[in-house]
Chains A and B, each alone.
Chain A
């Protein structure tokens, strides 16, 4: 069990560019979650997958955001036309049959 991993750990981009983040969950976990955390705040739910199906999306997830989980394994979160307000830590978590979410180290995005 290697835990949840995320790549990259840090991303600096210019406003208007597209960025993509990857999350690899714990291998036997069928649920995968994305959260966003801004400085000094608790994480906010963005979306979650059960296997390859995206079952819920937050209103925080604007049309510029898209998430996928092909084949029910790793997941990607893409942000198009980034804005300075997108600067945050993006956290991924996974869970199995029990309601316990294990978090990855996060990807810190800075939009200049």
Chain B
């Protein structure tokens, strides 16, 4: 069975600084997708960034980028120039066979 592990229950960062959230996963599949989702307090889950496992190039979306290490089964999220609106729970997720497997989440706090 696939598992996703986020080892940082909580992280905090100063506004405008950079923070990296860690994620590791375990799978025997060769073809899959990886995602980072953001869930603000009392608000719905929003997709932040996605990575196809067959692509070696790391995905980037504006201030958000990933470090995808397929052999190490690692998929970290870097947020640059952190903003107050980035405060949320962040979930790493693996997708194969049409279903998402989520990690436990990392609560990110932005200090003004």
Interface 9-residue window, one of A13-21, A39-47, A66-74, A76-84: A39-47
- Asked if B25 is at the interface (CB within 8 A of a chain A CB), the reply is no
Question: Which of B47, B98, B105 is close to A42, meaning CB atoms less than 8 Å apart?
Answer: B105
Chain B at the A interface: SS class: strand
Give the size category of A's interface with B: 20 to 34
Cross-chain contact B99 with A42 (CB below 8 angstroms):
no
- Digitize B71-112: 1 where CB-to-A-CB distance is under 8 Å, 0 elsewhere: 000000000000000000001010101111111110000000
Q: Total A-B residue pairs with C-beta atoms closer than 8 Å? A: 50
Using CB atoms and an 8 Å cutoff, list the residues of chain B in contact with chain A: 4, 33, 37, 43-47, 50, 91, 93, 95, 97-105
25 contacts between A and B (CB under 8 A): A40-B105, A41-B105, A42-B91, A42-B102, A42-B103, A42-B105, A43-B45, A43-B91, A43-B102, A45-B99, A45-B101, A48-B98, A56-B97, A56-B98, A56-B99, A91-B45, A93-B45, A100-B47, A100-B50, A101-B100, A102-B47, A103-B45, A103-B46, A104-B44, A106-B44
